[in-house]
Amino acid sequence: MEKNIQRAGVGLVEMSDINQSDRQILDNFKAMSVGQIFKKARESQNFEIVQIAAHLNVSTPHLEAIEADDKDHLPAKVYAVGFVRAYADVLGLDSEKMAYLFKQQFY
């Protein structure tokens, strides 16, 4: 039986809306890559990457590239950040904070 995936609806928040305290906490996670965080969260919830890719209508290789921290196999920045936000929502992670970490890591 397949596990049901539901995506939470969230509004867009600008990077400036992340307060200084949160930025300092997030900066402490720079030693753990965004890909490692996503993979650990996905595996802890027993999701297969193909399930999430199908749910989000995102190609599996793009999600695999995010988990592998492989910027060279990701689309343009605006799309990649959107994928990170959507992936975070599905896994119950804070999408804006994950986008912040992703941008700090790659851009």
d(CA 33, CA 58): 21
In the prediction, which pLDDT does 6 show? 52
Three-state secondary-structure class, residue 19? coil
In the prediction, which pLDDT does 102 show? 94
Prediction pTM value: 0.75
Most confident of 9-23, 71-85, 92-106: 71-85
Mean pLDDT of the chain: 82
In the prediction, which pLDDT does 44 show? 87
- pLDDT digit string (tens) for 60-91? 999 999 999 999 999 999 999 999 999 999 99
In the block, tokens 């959507």 appear at 86
- State the pLDDT confidence band at 40, using cuts at 50, 70 and 90: confident
Burial status of residue 83 (CB atoms within 10 A of its CB: 0-12, 13-18, 19 or more): buried
In the prediction, which pLDDT does 8 show? 42
